[in-house]
Amino acid sequence: MFNNFLRTNKIAMWLLTVIRVYLGYQWIEAGYHKITGGFDAAGFLTGAIANSTGDHPAVQGWWATFLEHFALPNVGLFNVLVPYGEFLVGLGLILGTFTTFAALMGLV
């Protein structure tokens, strides 16, 4: 019912289109800056692993284990996937193609 309302109401449709295009632009811009400016996830991953210990860890232990044993050794792969993934999510949101899939990939 709510989904039908969003598809048939012109005001809701245009409002969601503006929001979708704006968010797509933000994703493209973030990805583009990482592609052209150089991106290295090693510092972020190392910091996340360091924040997984102590009395109040900011990162869950299972996630820190994944980062330490998979993501950090393969940081070169993540240095490619993250910028191009952000760029492609933004492109999908702006073009309106595979919008649900692009939003899902943006959440991942």
Domain ranges of the chain: 17-107
**Residue 42 has which token pair?**
């090693």
Could you tell me the two tokens for 29? 């811009």
The tokens describing 107, both together, are: 């959440």
The whole-number pLDDT of residue 22 equals: 97
In order of 6, 38, 45, 97, 104, the CA distances from 78 in angstroms are 36, 13, 10, 25, 18
Long-range contacts, stretch 96-104, CB < 8 angstroms, 24+ apart: 96/17, 96/20, 99/20, 102/24
What pLDDT was estimated at residue 91? 92
For the cut 80, the answer to whether the pLDDT of residue 3 exceeds it is no
Ramachandran sector of residue 96 (left: φ over 0; alpha: ψ -120 to 50; beta: rest): left
Q: CA-to-CA distance for 18 and 3, rounded, in angstroms?
A: 17
pLDDT 10s digits, 46-81: 999 999 988 889 999 999 999 999 999 999 999 999
